Structure 1
Amino acid sequence: MISKYLGFDSDYIIIGLCGVLLILFILTIVNIVQMKKLKKNYRIFMSGKDAKTLEDTLIQRLDQVDFLLESNEENDSNIKVLSKNMQRTYQKMGLIKYDAFHEMGGKLSFSLAMLDMRNNGFIINAMHTREGCYTYIKEIIDGNSVIVLSEEEQEALKRAMDPNGNLKNSDEE
């Protein structure tokens, strides 16, 4: 009766419903296969473990992560302290060996410049003579000295401030 009003035969409705039933049957089989795979993977994951040991493992890993984060913060703090301390240490050096009076030979006299990162420090000048060895020190502030520097002291200072760190010995000149 309804088929007369709609203008098509009831056979088409039955065929359509069979098609929908077939599609649902195929989808059900696909879902069953996927569930079996999921159960198999779950059993492999949980084999030898119960919920308590799995929870303990997760808690242990989270504690390790917390420890690593704390250690990292502590390391960052230590690095900052070390970096700050390094600013005040003598990191640059310039050394010139020379013969102070051209009579001794062997270049036993020397000028040694020691500077920090800001080019503050000192120059030690040791002059060796036949009578003895005389040592002088001159303060360096921002790469300059208030007291006039000798030629050797100037060269030692220049080498200490050399950004390439060329510390070649005066014997090589």
Structure 2
Amino acid sequence: MTLLSGTLPAIWWGIGVLGVLVIIAYVINIILFRRMKRFEEAYLTLKTFMSGGDLENILHEFKNKLGDHEAKLEQCGKRLDPIELKLKASVDRAAIVRYRAFENVGSDLSFALALLNQDGDGIVLNSIHSREDSRVYAKPVSGGESTYTLANEEKEVISKAMNGPKI
């Protein structure tokens, strides 16, 4: 009987501890249930805060619109790439220098005109005016230089076009 009398109080102690743990679990369960109810109320308020609409539907609608905008942006990018290449090759730098080619001509009727793109490629036109006639010469320009011999006025106008403002 000494064996039974020593174990019986330990069983009661275990039942008591288990009872206390059940009460603690029950209290925690009640606290969590109340928190969950407050969360549900806040969630319902959040879902319907924008003019009575459902937040999930509004977000889904915005997601669809964003996808449409991304597709349109991609289309615009595809359209702009060739336009940018063409624009880069087009004339956007121009300059003119007027000068007197001959001493016996009254005013600066001769001119040099440079028409270049962003890379410095294009042409330089040189019009030389005299009393008897007028002549126009065209020389290709690549990277601001020409394979032909350039007059001082042509070099000056190319330099102005390269360093001047873009059109």
TM-score, length-normalised on structure 2? Answer: 0.71
The 5 Å alignment of 1:18-97 reads 18-47=19-48, 48-49=52-53, 55=57, 57=58, 60-97=61-98
* Shift in alpha-carbon separation, 1:40–1:3, aligned structure 2, 3 A: farther
Gaps in structure 2 of 5+ consecutive residues? none
Aligned residue for 1:114, secondary structure, equals strand
Q: Which runs of 5+ in 1 are unaligned?
A: 168-173
Write the distance in 2 (CA, Å) between the matches of 1:58 and 1:37: 23
What SS does the corresponding residue of 1:155 show, helix, strand or coil? helix
Deviates more, 1:152-161 or 1:140-149: 140-149
Identity over the aligned pairs, expressed in percent?
Answer: 23
Could you say what the CA RMSD is over the residues aligned between the two structures, in angstroms? 3.3
User: Could you tell me how far apart the structure 2 residues matched to 1:87 and 1:61 are?
Assistant: 37
State the 1:100 CA deviation. 2.9
Give 1:121's aligned residue: 122
SS in 2 for 1:87: helix
Count how many residue pairs are aligned between Structure 1 and Structure 2.
159
- On the 8 A contact 1:104/1:129 being kept in 2, the answer is no
User: Aligned partners of 1:66 and 1:21: how far apart in 2?
Assistant: 53
Q: Deviations over 1:52-109 (max 9, x none)?
A: x954x4553343123112111111112211122123211233433333335535x453
Aligned equivalents of 1:156, 1:60: Cα separation in 2: 58
